[in-house]
Amino acid sequence: MKPEVALGRFEIFLRGKKLRMTRPRRDILLAAWETHSHFTAEEMFGWVQERDSNAARATVYRTLNLLVEGEFLASMNNGQGTQLYEHILGHTHHDHMICRGCDRVLEFRSEEIERLQEEIAQRNNFQLVHHVLRLEGYCPKCRTDES
C-alpha cells in the first residue's frame, strides 16, 4: 500500500478518535512505511529525529500504539522483552521465527498451520479472530551443537 493511502486512512482513523494529524504523527507513519523490516520504538525515535521531526519519545510510543490499535502496524514481543513493530496494512497475515542468537526475524506463511488453527478453534466452539505465532530458536548462522 502506498504511503499516501496509509496517511489518508490514518487521518480518518485519528478524526474518529477526535485527534489531529500532526507532523510528528505523519513522520512516524511515513518512517514505518519506508522500512520493510521489523523495528523497535527506539529505532523509530531515531528515524523521526533524522527527519528533523520535533517528535518527543513519548509521542513516538503513543503514535505507535495508535497505529497498532488502528491495525496499520502489528506489534509482537521478540521473546526477550523487546517490542517489535511492522506495517501490515495491505499485507497478508504471516507468522515469525526469531533467532535467539542474532535477533533476526524470519517471516513465513503456512496454509497447514492456518488450517490446523481453524480446525482446533472449531472443535472447541471458539470464534477465532486473530492469532500470533512466534517460533524461537537459532538460525543456521547462530546454531551450534550446544543449542
pLDDT tens digits, residue range 88-107? Answer: 877 778 899 999 899 888 98
The CATH number assigned to the domain with range 3-87 reads 1.10.10.10
pLDDT of res. 145: 53
Supply 93's cell numbers.
497475515
Extents of the domains making up the chain: 3-87, 95-137
pLDDT of res. 26: 94
Cα angle 64, 136, 93 (rounded to 5 degrees) comes to 50
CATH assignment of 95-137, given 1.10.760.10, 2.40.320.10, 3.30.1490.190, 3.40.47.10? 3.30.1490.190
Tell me: pLDDT of 72 over 60.
yes
Identify whether the C-beta of residue 100 lies closer than 8 Å to the C-beta of residue 136: yes
63-67, 98-102, 139-143: which is most confident: 63-67
